[in-house]
Structure 1
Amino acid sequence: MILCPSCGFNNVNTESGCSCCGFLPEIVDGFRAWAPELARYNDGFPEDSFEGLARAEACSFWFRARNAIVIWALRKYFSAFQSLFEVGCGTGFVLSGIAEAFPDVRTVGSEIYTTGLKFAAKRLPSTELSQMDARKLPFENEFDVLAAFDVIEHIREDELVLQNFYRAIKPGGGCLITVPQHMWLWSPVDEAACHQRRYSAKELHSKMEAAGFRIVRSTSFVVLLLPLMVVSRLAARRSGRMGEGGGGLALNPVLDRTLEVIMRIEQQLIKWGIDFPIGGSRLVVAQKDL
Structure 2
Amino acid sequence: MDRAIYDRMAEIDGAHWWFVARRRIIAALIEQQARPKPGARILEVGCGTGSNIRMLQHYGTVDAIEPDDQARALTTERTGVAVKGGLLPDGVALEDGAYDLIVLLDVLEHIPGDREALASLVAKLKPGGKILVTVPASPWMWSSHDVAHHHQRRYTMAEVKKVFADSGLKVTHATHFNTVLFPLIAAARGLGKLLGREGGDDAMPPKPVNGLLGTLFGFERHVVGRHSLPFGVSIGLVAEPSR
- Kept after mapping to 1: 8 A contact 2:147/2:199: no
Question: 43, 65, 70: which is aligned to 1:115?
Answer: 70
The SS at the match of 2:14 is helix
Q: Partners in 2 of 1:46 and 1:67 — Cα distance? A: 23
- Scaled by the length of structure 1, the TM-score of the pair is 0.78
Question: 78, 86, 91: which is aligned to 2:35?
Answer: 78
Question: 70, 93, 100: which is aligned to 2:51?
Answer: 93
Pairwise mapping of residues 127-142 of structure 1 onto structure 2 (< 5 A)? 127-136=81-90, 137-139=92-94, 140-142=96-98
Structure 1 gaps, min length 5: 1-44
Question: 215, 218, 222: which is aligned to 1:261?
Answer: 215
Q: Partners in 1 of 2:23 and 2:219 — Cα distance? A: 15
Q: Partners in 2 of 1:47 and 1:171 — Cα distance? A: 38
Structure 2 gaps, min length 5: none
Q: How many residues align?
A: 239
The SS at the match of 2:48 is coil
Q: Which has the larger radius of gyration?
A: 1
Task: Report the residue type matching 1:236 in the other structure.
Answer: G
| 2:153 equivalent in structure 1 | 197
For the aligned residue pairs, the C-alpha RMSD in angstroms reads 1.6
Q: Partners in 1 of 2:51 and 2:138 — Cα distance? A: 25
| 1:30 equivalent in structure 2 | none
1:280 matched to 2:230? The reply is: no
Q: Partners in 1 of 2:36 and 2:83 — Cα distance? A: 24
Give the drift of 1:235: 1.8
Task: Report the residue type matching 2:232 in the other structure.
Answer: G
Give the drift of 1:155: 1.3
Task: Report the residue type matching 2:239 in the other structure.
Answer: A
Give the drift of 1:251: 0.5
What whole-Å deviation, never above 9, does each CA across 1:7-58 have from its counterpart, x for those lacking one?
A: xxxxxxxxxxxxxxxxxxxxxxxxxxxxxxxxxxxxxx21332111011111
Task: Report the residue type matching 1:156 in the other structure.
Answer: P
- Scaled by the length of structure 2, the TM-score of the pair is 0.93
Percent identity, aligned pairs only, is 25
Pairwise mapping of residues 49-198 of structure 1 onto structure 2 (< 5 A)? 49-76=5-32, 77-80=34-37, 82-99=40-57, 101-102=58-59, 105-125=60-80, 127-136=81-90, 137-139=92-94, 140-198=96-154
Give the drift of 1:213: 1.0
Higher relative contact order (CA 8 A, sep 6+): 2
